[in-house]
Amino acid sequence: MDLGKHAVFIWASYAVVGVVVSSLIAWLIVEGRRYARQLRELEARGVRRRSQKENAE
């Protein structure tokens, strides 16, 4: 595809958009998994929030 003599700028623009957006998505996914895992571990240990404990007792 001939993008003219300024092709490198066009590729660079789309590349930087790709990198930033993918990094954002990756960060969101990784953090989501991390918190979900921590939540599972805490609940497995039987930790409850105060309000839940009161309801249970």
Q: How many residues does the chain have?
A: 57
Q: Say if residues 48 and 56 touch (Cβ distance below 8 Å).
A: yes
Q: Is there binding between residue 13 and another protein (CB under 8 A)?
A: yes
CA–CA separation, 28 vs 31, rounded Å? 5
Q: Is there binding between residue 55 and another protein (CB under 8 A)?
A: no
Q: Is there binding between residue 16 and another protein (CB under 8 A)?
A: yes
DSSP, res 5: T
Query: Which residues are at the interface with another protein (CB under 8 A)?
Result: 1-7, 9-10, 12-14, 16-17, 20-21, 24-25, 28-29, 31-32, 35-36, 38-39, 42-43, 45, 47-50
